[in-house]
Copies of this chain bind each other. A is one copy, B any other.
Amino acid sequence: MQKDLTLAEQTERKILKYIAEKGFQTGDALPKENELSEILGVSRVVVREALSRLRILGFVETRRKRGTVLTSPNIFYGIKTILTSGTLDKDALKDLYEVRLMLEIGMADFLFMHREERYLAELQKIISEENVTTDSEMLTRLDIRFHSTLYKMSGNKSLFAFQNLLNTLFATFAPRRKDWKVKQIISHESLLEILRSGTPDSFRVAMRLHLNTRFENMHTLFLDKEATPANPS
């Protein structure tokens, strides 16, 4: 056992263990802070700190008088704080940007697994709106909606949550080039067509081409270690 852990951290694990042993389910109420303090043999301050840590991870929620109740842990609950804190360094941002590109290309198989008409219709609707729009900001929003729909279509709820986070992150951080739409090799329309009658492999090839501007954009955003591209005009 690592003994260099804080008592609060040890208590955090003890509580998790306690939860697992007692077979608590989502929605169940934990013992009150004072009771936990007695059960675990530590002061209430420590119990509170442990609970606070579990809260930030999304394990529990606490409400006055009601007590502490178990919630299903959301993996991205804590990540959100990091992403929105504005303290991420450029390397971490680059990593996230890359991960998103990987996911969009790699999700092809799962898109074809969950290829339901409602999703295809939604994609079609977005494309229709794109075709009658010239406003650049609107086009960006539609682009985000298109890709967001793909994430939804992947059937992976955690992934969808993650993507939503990234959207808010990169919306403020990584502004697009003005000509991003013009330069795209493969259109949303082509992607949809492949979704309808293609294969995961052909979709990956198409998506890679579709994202080509993003790959190039990435270099200008992150690879200039010397320059200071903090606020590109």
Give A residues with C-beta under 8 Å from B.
Answer: 8, 12, 16, 19-20, 26, 45, 48-49, 52-53, 56-59, 72-73, 75, 78-79, 81-83, 85-89, 91-92, 95-96, 98-99, 101-110, 154, 156-159, 200-201, 204-205, 208, 215
Can you spell out 8 A-B residue pairs with CB atoms less than 8 angstroms apart?
A48-B49, A52-B52, A73-B92, A75-B83, A75-B96, A78-B79, A98-B110, A105-B204
**In whole angstroms, what is the CA distance A32 to B78 when docked?**
24
Given the interface pairs A52-B8, A82-B57, A201-B205, the reply to whether A156 lies near B106 with Cβ below 8 Å is no
A215 vs B56: C-alpha distance when bound (angstroms): 33
By a CB distance below 8 angstroms, the chain B residues around A201 are 204-205, 208
CA distance A106 to B45 in the complex (A): 46
Interface of A is mostly: helix
Are B89 and A99 neighbours in the complex by a CB distance under 8 Å?
A: no
Kindly provide the distance from the CB of A198 to the nearest chain B CB, expressed in whole angstroms: 14
Partner of A103 from B58, B96, B99, B208 at Cβ < 8 Å: B99
Q: A86 to chain B: which residues have CB within 8 Å?
A: 16, 20
Contact residues in B for A57 (Cβ distance below 8 Å): 56, 78, 81-82
Q: Which residues of B contact A154 (CB under 8 A)?
A: 98
Query: Closest 6 CB pairs between A and B?
Result: A106-B106, A102-B106, A78-B78, A95-B158, A105-B106, A16-B85
Smallest CB separation, A112 vs chain B (Å) = 12
With both chains docked as a complex, state the minimum distance between the C-beta of A152 and any C-beta of chain B, in angstroms.
13
In the complex, what distance in Å separates the CA atom of A95 from the CA atom of B75?
Answer: 10
* A98–B56 touching, CB < 8 Å: no
Sample of 14 further A-B pairs with CB below 8 A, known A12-B81, A45-B45, A49-B52: A16-B87, A48-B49, A56-B56, A56-B78, A57-B81, A59-B82, A75-B83, A95-B157, A96-B158, A98-B154, A98-B156, A109-B208, A109-B215, A201-B208
